[in-house]
Structure 1
């Protein structure tokens, strides 16, 4: 059946949902399509379920840190019970999201979308024609091109494990490896991270990453850098992971191998070339309005857009809002990614906002660096966290905060405050005189600038 709409949205994550609901509320006729359960990565396969597991792992870690400081007794993670608790968040979510679309008046479709021409999509037996089409299809584990790649467990599969394997190898050294690796280690697994680069978490400050690496080793996680995985063979419970290094090949035996080597925009089956939509490995090529550079009827947002933004849920929601505004107002709005925070939910967490030292120098900026090991500060010492540091970049003439890099307890919330300061142009002098509640992590900020 052929149906016509003002806007057709592909993807029901934060980017797509934001476009659909805002356009429908403004009086447009909107359809939304997804081949998976409605809700997207964050609510079903990413941020939300992951943070539930992180919360349990943090309890275990804090108990161990506080041993000999007034806390005693046995404590462990019951993995099947934890996964059941996680499911109380994820299981109802697809129905809740679909019901919200119905309440808003957005027409929903289940199935794979494929372009038939510049503005038409085939979804099962239906053909959806949109004045505009918004691609917000998210991301998927990147193809590695190694032998036995089919044996790798995806991150969404890891989040549904009913039993935690005794030995786990992570291929790659990014967010997934450090977040899931820290969770698994606190739950009792033996964890190995194999990273082909010289250092993991390359987008974060190298000094803070080095300290996190020490803390990671201290909890028993084996991180191997300069190690390229060349193949995986065997079966669950008995895998052999072959690697090559500068010195010699090595084999790791493990019960499970997890894909943690990055994600790529999920665009392959959309047949974008039929619609005249240009794309590359970063996503659909878009202009500053997030409109396709080659097909003005198509927009992209979130992980599907090659916009240069971070693969973060707040950014996806922001880009969805920007696309909606441009659809409604005739392309009057451009993207502004200043002050976007990013956090790795390792234990402790690692946060970053704004520029790194290397980026600030590359721009020719004159700045000072304030940094310190804060493990002896009250906020870290009271919870016995040995890995706590910060680094803040401040422009010399203006006092602008160019970047903030944070490791330690509540680094995520500190990152949010620095993100606000950068985006709202709150200068260092103003932060020095802020009156924060004490004792909190925020009350450390005047000493950080």
Structure 2
């Protein structure tokens, strides 16, 4: 085997890996990147970016449905083929442009997943490569499910390649991806079923709001089965049959297609980490505050694969920046978890930032909770919206806002205002002094913190 040496070898070409690689090469280090998939990462090619392109059309459908008979006489027709063509304008150029950009910077590219063969060596594309430092930024991969017929399951990657909307679809797993795609297909006329082993959807979000979201989706034709375990899946002539138990009762569903949306896990399986004494667990590569592996100090991890990360693109870029700088100058940048909002892009959006009610109760002596239904607010009434709710958490002793949870058509934007308020430790009285445009959804936020 041929041998080669780099100062830095990066595994993964998403935002985290690219950011670290560019910092290193611009500081005179020799750098290479390997990726077994198309260069550019999950978010840009088969994740948040294409998802949002598609979802905007579905949002328009929901808005026009709400206003039908109030000024809208006909619901628009959606062309899935045209939507896919439009989406491809964003995703198709990414691999080529990413490779060209990295090559121009002098970064060598490898199109295979490497395997560690020692603490400072890997095998990739028939070559033995050594490096002073390795950056693991390989992200997450769909969780494997173990039951008979599991090979028939489709993943979110395959969802983006659908040539037409199926007549029926089943999702296994009511997390972010499952709920968003479930909502999308149901709105486009597909008969949708959601199966989950928990007692509700989106377990990391506030149940007061998730209950309302699930109920709304039920009214739009989605069938939910919670507290359920899949026993097997079998291929029929035209459909797929799902055999499962719900609280010991046997159930059977038939669908055109079944998606595994049970979550994603760190993509470490192909790397042979143990040969390089790289410590990892279910959270990813174990790293310290400098994003350096605890058992192999030549290895850094950033982005979704890092034990100190969340699956969010802005955090991946931040961690890539920290890793790149720490390789250039050891221990020059320390990672501290920033306040990060989360959004589920259903309609309405479900958004959250800061502490949940349970977290606040465990950390603070006394809290105040503002929660309620906001469908009587002007913005909800003008849009004929049937779902609009909130829960705001306050430290009662200091009057400081510590958590915000929103369910509305504009929650994805409004949650950023609460992020700033919490980051700046604003009190309720200080927040209420802010002047927002009116009548905007932002102006509603002050009304959510009124004593009854």
Contact 2:153 2:259 in 1 (8 A): yes
Provide Cα deviations, 1:185-230, integer angstroms capped at 9, x if missing partner.
1111000000111111000001000010111111111111111112
Q: Does 1:107 align with 2:90?
A: no
Q: Does 1:193 align with 2:194?
A: yes
Contact 1:380 1:409 in 2 (8 A): no
Secondary structure of 1:116's aligned partner: strand
Aligned residue in 1 for 2:119: 118
Q: What is the TM-score when the length of structure 2 is the normalising length? A: 0.96
Contact 2:289 2:336 in 1 (8 A): no
Provide Cα deviations, 1:9-46, integer angstroms capped at 9, x if missing partner.
11011111111112222332221111111011100111
Aligned counterparts, 1:12-27, within 5 A? 12-27=13-28
Alpha-carbon distance between aligned partners in 2 of 1:366 and 1:8, rounded to the nearest angstrom:
50
Stretches of 4+ aligned residues off by more than 4 angstroms: none
Provide Cα deviations, 1:347-397, integer angstroms capped at 9, x if missing partner.
111001111111111224422111221122122222222111111111123
C-alpha deviation, 1:425, in angstroms? 3.3
Provide Cα deviations, 1:277-312, integer angstroms capped at 9, x if missing partner.
0111221111122111111111111221122x3211
Provide Cα deviations, 1:414-441, integer angstroms capped at 9, x if missing partner.
1222222223434433321112222222
Go from structure 1 to structure 2 and tell me whether the alpha carbon gap of 1:243 and 1:321 turns closer, same or farther (over 3 Å shift): same
Provide Cα deviations, 1:64-93, integer angstroms capped at 9, x if missing partner.
011121111142322122111111111111
Alpha-carbon distance between aligned partners in 2 of 1:92 and 1:362, rounded to the nearest angstrom:
48
Aligned residue in 2 for 1:180: 181
Alpha-carbon distance between aligned partners in 2 of 1:210 and 1:414, rounded to the nearest angstrom:
20
Go from structure 1 to structure 2 and tell me whether the alpha carbon gap of 1:343 and 1:272 turns closer, same or farther (over 3 Å shift): same
Aligned residue in 1 for 2:92: 91
Alpha-carbon distance between aligned partners in 2 of 1:385 and 1:330, rounded to the nearest angstrom:
53
Q: Does 1:60 align with 2:61?
A: yes
Q: Does 1:447 align with 2:439?
A: no
Contact 2:64 2:75 in 1 (8 A): no
Aligned counterparts, 1:107-256, within 5 A? 107-235=108-236, 237-256=238-257
For structure 1, which segment, 314-323 or 294-303, has the greater mean C-alpha deviation from structure 2 after superposition? 314-323
Q: Please, which runs of 5 or more residues in structure 2 have no aligned partner?
A: none
Aligned residue in 1 for 2:360: 360
Aligned residue in 2 for 1:377: 377
C-alpha deviation, 1:247, in angstroms? 4.1
Provide Cα deviations, 1:330-363, integer angstroms capped at 9, x if missing partner.
2243322242111111111100111111111122
Go from structure 1 to structure 2 and tell me whether the alpha carbon gap of 1:241 and 1:394 turns closer, same or farther (over 3 Å shift): same
Alpha-carbon distance between aligned partners in 2 of 1:8 and 1:100, rounded to the nearest angstrom:
17
Secondary structure of 2:249's aligned partner: coil
Alpha-carbon distance between aligned partners in 2 of 1:35 and 1:316, rounded to the nearest angstrom:
19
Alpha-carbon distance between aligned partners in 2 of 1:403 and 1:6, rounded to the nearest angstrom:
43
Secondary structure of 2:380's aligned partner: helix
Q: Please, which runs of 5 or more residues in structure 1 have no aligned partner?
A: none
Contact 1:431 1:445 in 2 (8 A): no
C-alpha deviation, 1:119, in angstroms? 1.8
In the alignment of these two chains, the number of paired residues is 448
Go from structure 1 to structure 2 and tell me whether the alpha carbon gap of 1:27 and 1:367 turns closer, same or farther (over 3 Å shift): farther
Secondary structure of 2:29's aligned partner: coil
C-alpha deviation, 1:154, in angstroms? 0.5
Go from structure 1 to structure 2 and tell me whether the alpha carbon gap of 1:11 and 1:24 turns closer, same or farther (over 3 Å shift): same
Alpha-carbon distance between aligned partners in 1 of 2:229 and 2:404, rounded to the nearest angstrom:
32
Alpha-carbon distance between aligned partners in 2 of 1:235 and 1:156, rounded to the nearest angstrom:
23
Alpha-carbon distance between aligned partners in 1 of 2:26 and 2:254, rounded to the nearest angstrom:
54
Alpha-carbon distance between aligned partners in 2 of 1:118 and 1:247, rounded to the nearest angstrom:
49
Contact 1:139 1:264 in 2 (8 A): yes
Alpha-carbon distance between aligned partners in 1 of 2:187 and 2:336, rounded to the nearest angstrom:
38
Alpha-carbon distance between aligned partners in 1 of 2:216 and 2:26, rounded to the nearest angstrom:
49
C-alpha deviation, 1:236, in angstroms? 7.4
Aligned residue in 2 for 1:395: 395
Aligned residue in 2 for 1:343: 343
Secondary structure of 1:249's aligned partner: strand
Alpha-carbon distance between aligned partners in 1 of 2:108 and 2:425, rounded to the nearest angstrom:
41
Aligned residue in 2 for 1:328: 328
For structure 1, which segment, 162-171 or 122-131, has the greater mean C-alpha deviation from structure 2 after superposition? 122-131
Alpha-carbon distance between aligned partners in 2 of 1:211 and 1:434, rounded to the nearest angstrom:
29
For structure 1, which segment, 139-148 or 369-378, has the greater mean C-alpha deviation from structure 2 after superposition? 369-378
For structure 1, which segment, 25-34 or 218-227, has the greater mean C-alpha deviation from structure 2 after superposition? 25-34
Alpha-carbon distance between aligned partners in 1 of 2:108 and 2:423, rounded to the nearest angstrom:
36
Alpha-carbon distance between aligned partners in 2 of 1:102 and 1:382, rounded to the nearest angstrom:
52
C-alpha deviation, 1:160, in angstroms? 0.8
